[in-house]
Amino acid sequence: MPNIRSLDMKLVDDLFEMEGGYVLDFSDRTMASFFVEELNVDIDDVRYREFGSSKAKRLRCYLNKVDLATAVQTLKVLWEYREGIRRRDNRADRIENAEGKFLELLNRLQGKNCFPSQGEAPNPVSILPKILELKKQLLGFVDMQPQPRGYAFEKWLRDLFEVHGLQPRDSFRLCGEQIDGSFLLQGETYLLEAKWQSAQTGAADLHAFEGKLNQKAAWTRGLFISHSGFTQDGLIAFGRAKRVICMDGLDIFDALNQELSLVQVLERKVRRAAESGNPFVPVRDIFPR
C-alpha cells in the first residue's frame, strides 16, 4: 500500500510545483545534492525511476517506496526549502492556506505511522570519501604560488559547497566589482568573498565586502572566508550587527577534521552572529571537542 493516497499526492504536486516533471527550482544536480545533504539519500537510485526519470516522477516513486517516517521527514525538509524560496523572493503563496493543508497532510500521515511500516529503508549516501579528497587537495595548496593558489582555493570552496548541497555559483563580476561566488543556505542567498594571503584580513576588506552587499537586495547576506584569519582590531573596527559572517582556515580544518556538516557549521555561525552581533565565532567555540 502506498504511503500517500492519490488525492494527497495531488496536494504534494501542487505544493512542490511538480508540474511538467519539475520539483520547486531544483535541477537534477541540485536535487541530488539536497537529498544527500538533508536526508543522506541517493534520489538518483534506480529504484526510484520505476515511474520515469523526471525529478517529479522520482520523488513520487521515492515517497511511496520508503518507510512512512522517511516520507514524512522528506516532506518536512522540502517544505522548509519551499518556504525559504518564498521568503527570499518575497512572493505570495499561490495555494490558499497552503501551510494548513500541509499540516493536515502531515497529521494524516503521522497518524498512519502508528502501524508497522511496509516501506523500505532508503540507501544512505556517504560523502566521507569526497571530504577526504578535499582535505588532501587543501594540504597541497600550501606550496603553490599566491595567484594560482587563490584561484585553486576558490574552485576548492565551490567543490566543498557542492558536496554539502549548498548550490554554489562561480565567481562573477558586476559593474566592475568582483564577487567570488554565491550559495544558498536554507533558501537564503549568500555572496562569498574568499582570500588566501599571508596577512590576516582587517577592517578595510570587511567594510568593502559589506559595501558590496549593501548594493544588492535587502535579504542578501555574505560569508567572508579568510584562510589566514582576521585581525582582532579589524573585527572590532568592523563592528556588530552586520550582514556578514566570517570563517577562517582553522574553521575549515576543524570542520573537515571533525567531519562536520558545512550546512550545520554555517547555520550555527549565523545563529551565534544573530545572538551576539559578532560576525566571527570560531568553529572550536561552537563545536568544542
CA distance 168 to 183: 4
Q: Are 242 and 279 in contact (CB under 8 A)?
A: yes
Write down the pLDDT at residue 20: 94
Question: Which own/partner pairs from 45-48 qualify as long-range (CB within 8 Å, at least 24 positions apart)?
Answer: 45/122, 45/123, 47/120, 47/123
Looking at residue 202, what is its pLDDT?
96
Tell me the mean pLDDT in the region 192-198.
91
235-279: pLDDT as tens digits = 999 998 889 999 999 999 999 988 888 988 999 999 999 999 999
Residue type at 247 in one-letter notation: M
For residue 193, the 8-state DSSP code is E
**Closest to 30 in 3D by CA, of 78, 76, 70, 83:** 78
pLDDT tens-digit series, residues 92-132: 999 999 999 999 998 888 775 544 445 666 666 667 788 88
Q: Which of 213, 164, 215 is nearest to 191 (CA)?
A: 213
pLDDT of residue 115: 43
pLDDT confidence of 134, banded at 50, 70, 90? very high
Write the single-letter amino acid at 137.
Answer: Q
Contact 153, 141 (CB under 8 A): yes
What is the tens place of the pLDDT at every residue in 66-87? 988 899 999 999 999 999 999 9
Instruction: For residue 245, give the C-alpha cell.
Output: 559572517
Instruction: Report the mean per-residue pLDDT for the chain.
Output: 88
Distance of CA 82 to the CA centre of its chain: 13
**Predicted pLDDT of residue 27:** 93
Report field, pTM of the whole predicted structure over 0.85: no
Contact criterion met (CB below 8 Å) for 48 and 32 = no
Domains of the chain: 6-112 (no CATH), 128-286 (3.40.1350.10)
Please tell me the distance from the alpha carbon of residue 74 to that of residue 43, in angstroms, as a whole number. 11
Q: Average pLDDT of 224-238? A: 95
- Does the pLDDT of residue 17 top 70, yes or no? yes
Q: Residue 34 has which C-alpha cell?
A: 539536497
